Amino acid sequence: MPRYFIEVSYKGTNYSGFQVQLNANSVQSEMEKALEIFYKQRFGLTGSSRTDAGVHALQNFFHFDSDLVIKDDAYNLNAILPGDIVVKRITPVEDKAHCRFDAISRGYHYSIYNQKNPFLADRAYYVPYTIDVDLLQQAAKEIMRHTDFTSFSKRNTQVKTFRCAISNSEWVQEGDCLVYKVTANRFLRGMVKGLVGTMLLVGKSKISLEAFKAIIESKDCTKADFSVHPEGLMLHKVTFPYLF
């Protein structure tokens, strides 16, 4: 049966997350409703990267199978979808292509700001403290020296391994925001928030770089700080070995 990828962007403020959840609104449930309205047929969607409640995505993907002749109906679907979800394109792919398992990397951005700004409040995390950016950069580079991120995975996560290959980890000033940019072959549940929260402890001189390294090596998630808010987090890019 022919398979299609749907590329989407969304602002996650009003959603319980990316994936369908019982008694809670999600990006996937809104997409499935829009597809059913337009095509008069129900589709089972498979998501590429699960994002938590309140987390945004500049680029994420679903795939689905259909015997219908599917065109790039982004314009029509966007007329049905709420304003905070946008279909970028619908693309036919090989029948065995998988938007989750075929992805070779994912990139996340986490944005913070330290001057009160109502126009950033729902897409960046307000940190009204002095932060040593040089210490943040050193912590970000330390992350690239490791592959086991057990300390930055929330409990009750069903994965076979806590190993991730980090290919980029850096802090960049963009306008009024300081943005953490991280790319890896995979991410664990809560991992980016755990990394950011714990790095901010370094940047605020609450722990040393040596203590940060020790937290990574401890493989103990109770030592990391996951308390940063979801609105600063955005799935920025999903990379495939084909088409995208």
Which of 67, 93, 119 is the last residue in one of the domains? 93
**Domain limit, last residue, from 38, 64, 93:** 93
pLDDT value of residue 30: 96
DSSP state of 104: -
Backbone angles phi, psi at 141, to 5 degrees: -70, -35
The single residue of 52, 72, 73, 122 carrying the catalytic annotation is 52
In a domain, 179, yes or no: yes
Do 214 and 120 reside in the same domain of the chain?
yes
One domain, residues 142 and 170? yes
- Its domain, for residue 115, covers 105-239
**pLDDT by residue (tens digit) across 128-171?**
999 999 999 999 999 999 999 999 998 777 788 999 999 999 99
The reply to whether 38 and 66 lie within a common domain is yes
pLDDT > 90? residue 98: yes
Rounded-to-integer distance, Cα 125 and Cα 113, Å: 6
111 and 58, same structural domain? no
Interval 112-127: pLDDT, tens:
999 999 999 999 999 9
Last residue of a domain, one of 61, 93, 125: 93
Which residue in 236, 235, 230 sits closest to 122, CA to CA? 230
| Whether residue 230 sits in one domain with residue 167 | yes
Residue 26 phi, psi dihedral angles, 5° rounding:
-140, 165
Task: Please determine, for residue 244, whether its predicted confidence score (pLDDT) is greater than 60.
Answer: no
Do 153 and 212 belong together in one domain? yes
Residues 215 and 111 occupy one common structural domain: yes
Answering whether pTM is above 0.85, one says: yes
Which of 112, 237, 107 shows the shortest CA–CA distance to 174? 112
Please report the pLDDT score of residue 23 as a whole number.
Answer: 77
Q: Is 99 a domain residue?
A: no
Does 52 participate in catalysis according to the annotation? yes
- Whether 100 maps to a domain, the answer reads no
